[in-house]
Amino acid sequence: MKGLPVAIIGLVLLVFITINTLTTHPRGAAGITPGEHVPPFAVPTAPGNVQGAANIATHDDEGAAKHAACTVRGPGILNVCELYEKGPVVLALFVDSGGCENVLYDMQALKSSFPGVRFAGVAVAGERAATRELIAQHGITFPVGLDKEATLGVVYKVSSCPQVSFIYPGGVMQSKALLNRPSLAVLRARIAALVAGARARGWK
């Protein structure tokens, strides 16, 4: 029991450092390297009622996870593996304050122009009530998940807010992540490049 306060303090410090990193200018890590496979994850969606931490396990019985992240699916769950199995993915990791969450509005505005592309967002260290309000304000129709412990901030090497990743079908990182909110024209061009690259790799 003596180690419990130390563990709690360590968790609080990790969340604080991650949030501080997300809300400052980019430096150091810049997301997953292009050509690498993105880490798997399953998180609760903000509109749903599923509770729990992000699952990032690569196989069953890894750490506290009973099942590998890619196999954890169903209503109320955002699973990145399920997304990239169906098509290219545009994934935004963000905090639900400070303005960087507005990238979700941009993604929503472009969503209808790119049928087949899977759009998704995850609120890092987010709270369900605040994220639900954000979804309602922006009229977001794509899945938005919650990562209360800021786990994805570490495994996705987040260095700014938002971080927008472009992922090929199959889960390979297509290009360098955007480390700030781009103009709508830039975001459109990056998504178009993702689609073109995916088609060149055989996606239809």
Termini Cα distance of the chain: 55
Q: What is the CATH number of the domain that holds 77?
A: 3.40.30.10
Cite the beta strand spans of the chain per DSSP E: 42-44, 77-79, 89-94, 118-124, 144-147, 163-167
Residue 159 confidence (pLDDT) above 90: no
The confidence band for 18, taking pLDDT boundaries of 50, 70 and 90, is very low
Residue 146 confidence (pLDDT) above 80: yes
Residue 47 confidence (pLDDT) above 90: yes
Q: What is the mean pLDDT of the chain?
A: 87
Report CA torsion sign: 76, 80, 86, 88: positive
Mean pLDDT over 11-23 rounds to 40
Mean pLDDT over 188-194 rounds to 98
pLDDT at 10: 36
- 201: nearest Cα among 80, 88, 118: 88
Q: Per-residue pLDDT tens for 66-112?
A: 999 999 999 999 999 999 999 999 999 999 777 899 999 999 999 99
172: Cβ–Cβ under 8 A, 6 or more apart, which residues? 35, 36, 37, 38
Give this prediction's pTM: 0.86
Residue 144 covered by a domain:
yes
Residue 97 covered by a domain:
yes
pLDDT at 29: 61
Residue 93 covered by a domain:
yes
Mean pLDDT over 132-138 rounds to 93
The confidence band for 21, taking pLDDT boundaries of 50, 70 and 90, is very low
Task: Tell me which residue range forms the domain holding 58.
Answer: 3-199
Inter-CA distances, 163 with 16, 37, 48, 131, Å: 18, 17, 23, 17
Residue 204 covered by a domain:
no
Domain count, the chain: 1
Q: How far apart are CA 147 and CA 128, in angstroms?
A: 10
Mean pLDDT over 122-148 rounds to 95
